[in-house]
Amino acid sequence: MATQEWADQVHKIQCPTLVVVPGAGRIGSADVYQPMRANLPRGEVLTYDGERHSICEYLADRCVADLRSFLVRHP
């Protein structure tokens, strides 16, 4: 994913979208998420400060809680 250029396509995503970013992730640069912050019309970008890649594996409960909260706001 880090080698793909998709920034010009993000605006086409029209459904509510939650993007969870590992704050200490080392795959690619953190600024690759900027197009999501700027161009997802119904999106939210949530950064887990200090956390590494594969957060859904080791922070499953937190991810599920944040997803449930997102789904309540975007039924």
Tell me how crowded residue 69 is: count the other CB atoms within 10 A of its CB: 13
pLDDT of residue 70: 96
**What is the pTM assigned to this prediction?**
0.77
Pick the range with the lowest mean pLDDT from 2-6, 19-23, 59-63.
2-6
Query: Could you tell me if residue 15 is inside a domain?
Result: yes
Q: Express the helix, strand and coil content of the chain in percent, nearest 5 each.
A: 45, 15, 40
pLDDT of residue 22: 86
55 and 7 Cβ atoms separated by less than 8 Å: no
Q: 34 falls in which pLDDT band (50, 70, 90)? A: confident
Query: Could you tell me if residue 3 is inside a domain?
Result: no
Number of domains, the chain: 1
Question: What are the backbone angles phi and psi of residue 24, rounded to the nearest 5°?
Answer: -110, 15
Query: Could you tell me if residue 5 is inside a domain?
Result: no
Query: Could you tell me if residue 6 is inside a domain?
Result: no
Residue 1 has pLDDT above 60, yes or no: no
Query: Could you tell me if residue 4 is inside a domain?
Result: no
